[in-house]
Amino acid sequence: MADNLFGQHISKQFDTELEDIRTRVLAMGGLVEQQVADAVSALVGGNRELAETVIERDHEVNALEVAIDEECTQVVARRQPAAGDLRLIMAVIKTITDLERIGDQAEKVARMGLHLAERERPKSQYIEIQHLGARVQQMLHHTLDAFARLDAEAAITVTSEDEKVDAEYDGVMRQMVTFMMEDPRLIKRSLDVMWSARALERIGDHSKNICEYVIYLVKGKDVRHISLEQMKKVARTES
């Protein structure tokens, strides 16, 4: 599928530019993945220092978004790309917005980690956040894989992982409400856990958005706001 999109331009320079954009998006993705992993591990381990590192590094994510955005606009202006190339650039512009917002959510988790490090630790050691975090990290990783390989089928499979993230999230929320009702002294701590779970759930949503851009990019069809069934139909059609 990737062959339609790359490698057949008159200008070799243009190929290099597109490849460079893609590489930078993947680098941004790698950084964001690291931020999410570090944020979860800082919260779960009560590691204040690591939480602070995540918060500080968020500006690197932001800077990458601005730089890639600028590069995309310049390439459009200079190369006047058509069809597949333009789709690539449009998908990149949207993808980096979601990556930047995943970075924001990682920062939020890290901030909650700082709060929670101040409080007495529960017996569970925040195992529920560890589980949800692991699932979300996996989903994000698969998303970036699908983007790297421009694999629409994989993107659809990842999209369906979001339901599992949501189910796990709902479980955490119910558990926290129970804790709060049983012991009002746990209200503040439980709220911090809820906000962290919420941030992780949002990362699942952003990953799903990116998968939809990958499908759009490969298939040329906008699959936002349609059902998983309809999406599978699109992926099965030839692009």
Per CB under 8 A, which region of 29-37, 81-89, 106-114, 118-126 contacts a second copy?
Answer: 81-89
Q: Which of 27, 83, 127, 228 binds a second copy (CB under 8 A)?
A: 83
The minimum distance between CB 49 and a second copy, in angstroms, equals: 24
Integer angstrom CA distances of residue 146 from 21, 29, 84, 149: 16, 12, 17, 5
Q: In whole angstroms, give the CA distance from residue 37 to residue 31.
A: 10
Taking CB under 8 A as the rule, does residue 175 contact a second copy?
A: no
One of 34, 41, 53, 97 touching a second copy (CB under 8 A): 97
Told to check if 191 binds a second copy by CB under 8 A, we report yes
Minimum distance of a second copy from residue 191's CB (angstroms): 7
Using CB under 8 A, which of the segments 4-12, 14-22, 27-35, 64-72 binds a second copy? 64-72
Instruction: Please give the Cα distance from 19 to 21 (Å, whole number).
Output: 5
Q: How many Cα atoms within 13 Å fall on the side-chain side of residue 210?
A: 33
Nearer CB in complex with a second copy: 12/225: 225
Amino acid at 86: L
Exposure string of 105-131, with b = 16+ CB inside 10 Å and e = fewer, is bbbbbbbbbbbbbeeeeeeeebebbbe
- Is residue 66 a contact point for a second copy (CB under 8 A)? yes
Residue 188, interface with a second copy (CB under 8 A)?
A: yes
CB of 108 to a second copy, least distance (A): 12
Long-range contacts of 61-64 (CB under 8 A, 24+ apart): 61/28, 61/31, 61/32, 61/35, 61/99, 61/100, 61/103, 62/100, 62/103, 64/24, 64/27, 64/28, 64/31, 64/96
Placement of tokens 């706001």 in the chain: 225
Place of tokens 């932001």: 62
- Of positions 119, 121, 224, 236, contacts a second copy by CB under 8 A: 224
Per CB under 8 A, 120 contacts a second copy = no
Check residue 93 for interaction with a second copy (CB under 8 A). yes
C-beta closer to a second copy: residue 83 or 127: 83
Residue (121 or 224) nearer to a second copy, CB? 224
Using rule CB under 8 A, residue 62 touches a second copy: yes
* 49, 110 contact by CB (below 8 A): no
**73 belongs to the binding site for a second copy (CB under 8 A):** yes
19 is an interface residue for a second copy by CB under 8 A: no
